Each structure stands twice: as C-alpha cells, then as structure tokens.
Amino acid sequence: MKNGKLQVGIIGCGNIANTKHLPNLAKFPERVEAVAFCDLIAEKAEKTKAKFGTPDALVCTDYHDLIRLDLDAVYVCTPNRSHAELTVAALETGHNVMCEKPMAINSAEAKRMLEARDKSGKLLTIGYQNRYRKDTMTLKKLAQSGSLGEIYWAKAHALRRRGIPTWGVFTNKFEQGGGPLIDIGTHSLDITLWIMDNYKPVSVLGSTFDKLGRTLHGDEQGTEGHWDEKTYEVEDAAVGLVKFENGATVFLESSWILNTTCQKQAMATFYGTKAGVEMDYASPDGGEGTNRKLVINHISAGCPAVEQIYLEEPENASSDLIFNYPGATAECKTWLDAISGKGQLVVYPEQACVVTQILEAIYQSAATGKLVEL
C-alpha cells in the first residue's frame, strides 16, 4: 500500500482487463491504483497504462518484472493456458492474486495454484463475477434459508445462438483448452454448484459437437462479429451430466453457435423438494447485461403457485458498450475489502478447482465416449 492506496498490477492487457477489471477498479480511486502493466505486446500495455494507470506506472513484456514489485495484488487476465504459471509465480513472490476464469486449463494446474496459495498464505480468488449479480445472490439466500428444500437436480445454461468470440484467442484450442464449455459453461456451472453448495462430484458423462463453427461461413454475421471458420479449432457446443456423492445430478449445456432461440448465459434452473427456481431475463429480448428475474414454482395453500421476483441489475458496462459484466463492481469491491482485511472472499479457489475438474472430465468423456469417475 502506498499513500493509503492499494497497489495492483495487471498481467494481460486485453479485453477482460480493459472492459471488466480496470473500469471497475477506476470506480474506487480513493482505495486503489494500477501501477504496473504487462503484456507480450508492449503497445497494448502502453495503451492500457495511458487509460487506467498512474503516470509512473511500469510497462513491461516480461511478467517477472512486474511481480518483482511490492504490490498488494496481481491480476491474471491472460489466455487459460498461462493462468497457473502466472498465478503460482505471483503467489510465490508474495502477492494476492485475482485470476480470471476458468481457474486453470486442467485440474492438475488448478491444484498447483491451491498448493502455492497454501504455501504463500496469500489470498487467491477467481473471476466468477456472476455470483455477485442480484438474482444470484437472492437465490443463494433462498437456498441457504431452506426455502427450496433439498436441491436434487439442476440445469446449468450457457447458450448462444450466434456468439462466437472474434477477438483474442478464444477459438485457439492450445491457448484456451476448449471452446464454449470452458469459456461460458464455466460460469453457469460455478453458479449451479454454489447455489447447491455441492462440491463432491463422483462421475461425469459428456459430449462435444463441432457441427457449425467449422462449416458455416464466418461471414454469417454473429452477435460478436465475423469469425474465421478456417482457424476455428474448438467445439461448437458441449453437454455434461454430473452425478454427486449425495445422488444429486446436474445437466450442463453450453454453446457459442447453436440453432436455438433459447439463449441463456450464466443461468441455471433448480429443482428442490420444497420449490423449484428458474433464472431468466426480465424481458423476452433480454441479453447479457439486462435485468433479470427468478421464477419460483412452489406450493401455496395446498395448490401449485408461481411467483416471479424481478431484480434490477445496475449497469457495469465499460466505455466499450459491447461488453457488460453484471456483478463485476460488487466483485471488485469484495476483492478490495478482502485484501485490505475488511471482508471475506465470495469465490474460493477450492470451489473453482472443482468446476475445472468437472469441465476437464466432460472433455475427457467426450473424447473417449466413456463415463469418467472422479
């Protein structure tokens, strides 16, 4: 801390840093300042510093130069393959770490991160901002109160009709480890496990599909722009069936490109012994940054009843209005409070490690055609 402000460094000056983390850090100028920026492309780091950094902020292309500094926290905002390497290095040099989702490219790497956290005594969290949305928080309280009873079945939804990311390296299998499953399916699965408070999976059966991303022409306009079908290396869609130690079951569906009109992202449906709850957009034409509702199906006075709770979500858009991250401001404040010793984490890496374990098992099951036992 310097001049009463937390000092943070950013590794990876791409989209997620510039449209999620840094715009939200900028909302707390009295508490934090960004003093170091690292990217393999120096120009990207320079531009990010000019927009969000202090005048004397470090700019570098080697992350070792950044983690040598006395920082209160390091943000890892790079492609999935490097999450573990960078997080472990930052923890070992005495830094708290906010790592973007998913935690790692596989469970072995995630466990390395946990071990480094334990040895360092520092804080580690993962960027699952959708937990902090008003609808998610409200649903979590409902589940904790016992209003839903035992949640024995759930569906995790992460579906887009034409939403292949056309920036960064999202369609590069080596860098990302996969496509929509590891990109947006990870958010839906995280929400589902958190609401259920169930982190003991025992078996996974999965399938992946590559029917559209490599065959449709990329000039068919998608919501995220045009894509290049010739360099598309990952799945279009993936589904998984996860069974847990207590018999509960979760069905996960994820896709960037699918012939569907049901587009739900970072949402889930829960079936409990006392009530069921469906997360949905507040309006039929809802999108990623819109207001939401909870549809509760329960018994009232001995008869089936449906209740709808509408929740207004504050805007979390960056200066680039294409991107909106509901819950990101609350995520940022929670993290600043935690590293300042004024609050607790909401996203614990032990939980994120189970999410990574399940995603890995879905890919493994899809590749082998067999059930994966955990």
The yes-or-no verdict on residue 300 having pLDDT over 90 is no
Q: What is the mean pLDDT of residues 240-245?
A: 98
pLDDT bracket for residue 108 (50, 70, 90):
very high
| Whether the Cβ atoms of residue 54 and residue 33 lie closer than 8 Å to each other | yes
Query: Coil, strand or helix: which one is 7?
Result: strand
Percent of the chain residues topping a pLDDT of 90:
83
Backbone angles phi and psi of 44, in degrees to 5? -65, -40
Q: What is the mean pLDDT of residues 44-56?
A: 98
CATH of 130-373, one of 3.50.50.60, 3.30.360.10, 2.20.70.10, 2.160.10.10: 3.30.360.10
Please report the pLDDT score of residue 15 as a whole number. 94
pTM, 2 dp: 0.94
Please report the pLDDT score of residue 342 as a whole number. 96
The yes-or-no verdict on residue 96 having pLDDT over 50 is yes
Q: How far apart are CA 117 and CA 349, in angstroms?
A: 9
Please report the pLDDT score of residue 289 as a whole number. 53
Please report the pLDDT score of residue 321 as a whole number. 45
pLDDT bracket for residue 288 (50, 70, 90):
low
Please report the pLDDT score of residue 287 as a whole number. 57
How confident is the model over 215-239, as pLDDT tens digits? 876 555 555 667 788 889 999 999 9
Four-point Cα dihedral 69, 15, 80, 104, nearest 10: 70
Please report the pLDDT score of residue 167 as a whole number. 86
The yes-or-no verdict on residue 315 having pLDDT over 80 is no
Architecture label for domain 6-127: 3-Layer(aba) Sandwich (3.40)
Q: How far apart are the first and last CA of the chain?
A: 42
Please report the pLDDT score of residue 323 as a whole number. 67
Mean pLDDT, the chain, whole residue set: 93
List all residues 6 or more positions away from 254 whose beta carbon is below 8 Å from its beta carbon.
158, 159, 180, 181, 184, 185, 188, 237, 238, 239
Please report the pLDDT score of residue 319 as a whole number. 46
Among 148-152, 156-160, 217-221, the range scoring the smallest mean pLDDT is 217-221
Domain ranges of the chain: 6-127, 130-373
| Strands laid side by side in the 124-127 sheet | 53-60, 32-38, 6-11, 73-76, 96-100, 124-127
Query: Coil, strand or helix: which one is 323?
Result: coil
How confident is the model over 8-35, as pLDDT tens digits? 999 999 999 999 999 999 999 999 999 9
The yes-or-no verdict on residue 316 having pLDDT over 50 is yes
